[in-house]
């Protein structure tokens, strides 16, 4: 509906069409996007969210000193898998860029990732 309202408003007043930035939360992103959206930006947004998830997994793994070795190992595997998915999404996103889009969309940028704690090794 928002896209239709923006388009109608722009046409009535001779303004350029604009769309709001993509939401950061994945459930909101799912509700805000459709089949006609620029999915390269959507995948970039998902990749950014997964990068944040990698940091959270890393924190849990490093702060959980008293976790069983099997849990620490699985967290490490989950971190590696999430990083692979991020890389794949970023590689594939440009191939989904819509060529005929008339309405610009901007992805929401997340703050930079914190540096990995020094001196800690992966189990």
Judge whether residue 108 has pLDDT over 50.
yes
Higher pLDDT, 117 or 22: 22
Is 120 part of a structural domain of the chain?
no
Residue 55: how many CB atoms within 10 A of its CB?
14
Judge whether residue 111 has pLDDT over 80.
no
Going by C-beta distance under 8 Å and a sequence separation of 6 or more, which residues neighbour residue 97? 38, 40
Q: Are 43 and 92 in contact (CB under 8 A)?
A: yes
Judge whether residue 101 has pLDDT over 60.
no
Is 66 part of a structural domain of the chain?
yes
Q: Which domain holds residue 54?
A: 22-96
Is 105 part of a structural domain of the chain?
no
**pLDDT tens per residue across span 14-59:** 666 566 676 667 777 667 677 677 788 888 888 999 999 999 999 9
Q: Are 111 and 49 in contact (CB under 8 A)?
A: no
Is 9 part of a structural domain of the chain?
no
Cα–Cα distance for residue pair 116/123, rounded to 1 Å:
15
Is 44 part of a structural domain of the chain?
yes
Is 1 part of a structural domain of the chain?
no
pLDDT at 121: 52
pLDDT mean over 80-98: 91
Cα–Cα distance for residue pair 33/39, rounded to 1 Å:
9
Residue with tokens 């930079």: 112
Is 88 part of a structural domain of the chain?
yes
pLDDT at 17: 57
**pLDDT tens per residue across span 51-62:** 999 999 999 888
Is 84 part of a structural domain of the chain?
yes
Number of domains in the chain: 1
Higher pLDDT, 9 or 94: 94
Cα–Cα distance for residue pair 71/19, rounded to 1 Å:
43
């Amino acid at each position: 509906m928002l896209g239709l309202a923006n388009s109608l408003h722009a046409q009535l007043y001779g303004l350029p069409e604009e769309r709001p930035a993509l939401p950061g939360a994945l459930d909101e992103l799912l509700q805000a996007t459709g089949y006609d959206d620029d999915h390269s930006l959507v995948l970039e947004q998902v990749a950014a969210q997964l990068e944040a998830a990698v940091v959270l997994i890393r924190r849990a793994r490093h702060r959980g000193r008293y976790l069983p070795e099997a849990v620490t190992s699985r967290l490490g595997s989950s971190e590696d898998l999430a990083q692979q998915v991020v890389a794949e999404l970023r590689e594939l996103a440009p191939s989904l860029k819509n060529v005929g889009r008339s309405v610009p969309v901007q992805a929401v940028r997340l703050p930079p990732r914190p540096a990995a704690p020094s001196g800690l090794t992966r189990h």
